[in-house]
Amino acid sequence: MAVFRDMEEVSQGLLGLLNPNRAGARVRRLLGRQERMLEKLLDTKKTTHRLLSEILSMQEDVAQKLIDEDETAQHVESKLQEIESELQKASKKDANLKADLHLLTKELEELKEMEQDLTKTEGASTSEIPPAIYISQLYLRVSKIEWDYECEPTIIKGIHHGPNIAQPIHLDSTQHSKKFISDYLWSLVDTQW
């Protein structure tokens, strides 16, 4: 900017030195042109600075949008991996449940066959109470409890074969109410089929 001011001062000084003759008029015209060119140059410079500022601002906006999009893509990918993991777990659980259902269905069919065999051998009708062996086997399969029949009459003793580990049962019926004993034994039975 200082260079332009210096040039303008020199131009003004030259105009002051010249006589009012033809050469002076021509110099004035040239100096006027030079002044207009300098004004256009200054306008162009201002416009260029403004355009560069706008371009830099647009580049910053685009860069920020790219960063935001990248973060969003990473978040979506992470969420997708979580969903795939949950889907695999659910598929595994579904396969296990189907296998358990198949085994239970097979056991139920075996029990029905046993009931039919027992009914045929004893000549009992299906409306009668099933034999004690059938009931004890059915109870064992449902409750998964093996009773110890050789203990004292007031002691309730056995082993519950739970889903993870076998758990011993040892209760004294003189120290606990029948309701407590019943609730405790029912709490051991797995209700999820």
Residue 159: is its pLDDT beyond 80? yes
Which range among 65-69, 103-107, 112-116, 151-155 shows the weakest confidence by mean pLDDT? 112-116
Which range among 16-25, 71-80, 146-155 shows the weakest confidence by mean pLDDT? 16-25
* Chain-centroid distance, C-alpha 140: 42
| Position 50, amino acid | R
Task: Compare 169 and 124 and report the one with higher pLDDT.
Answer: 169
Q: Is 1 strand, coil or helix?
A: coil
Tens-place pLDDT, residues 74-123:
999 999 999 999 999 999 998 888 888 888 888 888 888 877 777 766 55
Tokens representing residue 85 in the block: 């993991």
CA 54/CA 192 separation, integer angstroms: 66
- Mean local confidence (pLDDT), 54-81: 92
Task: Compare 14 and 88 and report the one with higher pLDDT.
Answer: 88
CA 146/CA 141 separation, integer angstroms: 10
Predicted pLDDT of residue 163: 75
Predicted pLDDT of residue 15: 64
Provide the Cα torsion 182, 184, 188, 192; round to 10°: 80
CA 134/CA 180 separation, integer angstroms: 27
Predicted pLDDT of residue 19: 52
- Mean local confidence (pLDDT), 152-166: 84
Distances (CA, A) of 107 to 120, 128, 136, 168: 20, 22, 14, 25
Predicted pLDDT of residue 24: 64
Contact partners, residue 98, CB within 8 Å, separation at least 6 = none
The number of beta carbons lying within 10 Å of the beta carbon of residue 189 is: 12
Contact partners, residue 8, CB within 8 Å, separation at least 6 = 35, 38
Predicted pLDDT of residue 106: 85
| 157 Rama class: left (phi>0) / alpha (psi -120 to 50) / beta | beta
Predicted pLDDT of residue 133: 72
Task: Compare 84 and 17 and report the one with higher pLDDT.
Answer: 84
Q: What is the DSSP string of 9-74?
A: HHHHHHHHHS-SSHHHHHHHHHHHHHHHHHHHHHHHHHHHHHHHHHHHHHHHHHHHHHHHHHHHHH
